[in-house]
Structures are given as structure tokens and as C-alpha cells.
Structure 1
Amino acid sequence: MKLRVVLEPSEEGGYTVYVPGLPGCISEGETKEEALNNIREAIALYLETVEDDYISTETSEEVEIAV
């Protein structure tokens, strides 16, 4: 899966990174590499909670698509 992330320098130093397609999914790091590694982890945790909240019914159909 590929997601667009926005990486911005922080006023205090380091970087803030967020995912526009996942509201509230934000992280930071001292370096660009650290910030990007941290947002990967944040994305995984974000998507895990979304999956846990999914409630299937008898009439539901699951279909996998590439994004």
C-alpha cells in the first residue's frame, strides 16, 4: 500500500509528518529518516485500530482492492 505523507520541518527542530488520507495520523522525528520510520509505525497502528472497529454482518461482503 502506498500513502502520501507530508514532511515538514518543526520550529523546535526535527520534523513533523502526517498522512492527509488518514485524519489524525501524525508523528515526528529528529531526522527525516526517523520521522518517516515513525509515521510507518503510526500508519500500521492506525490501520490496525480501524480493522478492529470493523463490524461484519451476514449481508456484508469483503472485497480486496489495490490502492
Structure 2
Amino acid sequence: MNTKMKLTAVFSKQEDGGYIAYIEEMPGVNSQGDNFKEAKKNLYEALEMILQVRREIANKELQANKKNINKKNINFIINTLQTSV
């Protein structure tokens, strides 16, 4: 079964011309950039880093508790939503 989860990337244009961005459904995943393209790139990198760190933490906890581990790959679709100040 292939299930896709949609996450919402919110981009807010700032008065100085730059952008701030965050993933609405994932607190802590945020970034910024001098332009939309840079903010989007930086946001994807922030998401990758957060997921990697959370994966490492989860693996350590599972190994420490010696639970059976059943891992599966899942796909995400990230929609973008642009706002302005």
C-alpha cells in the first residue's frame, strides 16, 4: 500500500525582501532565505536534518529497549503556501 502524507510549507515574504518558512505540521522545522528559492531550499534541508536527528534518537531508544523493529519507507509530498507581510 502506498500512502502519501502531505505537509504544508508556509513561506512569508518579509518587508526586507527575504522570506521566512516553516512546515506547518512539524514544529521546529523552519528556515529563511534572501529569496523564495533560497528559503525553499533551506527549508528542505532543515526538514531533512530534523528527520535524520529524530530517526537517530528513535533508533537509540528502540535499541535500548530491545523492542522488535519493523522499518518501512514512506513518501511525503510537501505543498507550498506563500504568504506576505
**Shared fold (TM-score, shorter chain, > 0.5):** yes
**Stretches of structure 2 lacking an aligned partner (at least 5 in a row):** 77-85
Listed one character per residue, the Cα deviations across residues 16-60 of structure 1 (whole Å, up to 9, x for unaligned) are 000011111110001100000000100000001100110214444
Moved more, 29-38 or 4-13: 4-13
Whose Rg is larger? 2
Tell me which residue corresponds to 1:64.
72
Tell me which residue corresponds to 1:13.
17
Q: 2:10 & 2:37 partners in 1: Cα distance?
A: 13
Q: 1:62 & 1:4 partners in 2: Cα distance?
A: 27
User: RMSD of the TM alignment (CA)?
Assistant: 2.0
Tell me which residue corresponds to 2:83.
none
Corresponding pairs, count: 67
Of structures 1 and 2, the one with the larger relative CO (CA 8 A, separation 6+) is 2
Tell me which residue corresponds to 1:46.
50
Moved more, 46-55 or 3-12: 3-12
Larger fraction in strand: 2
TM-score (norm 2): 0.66
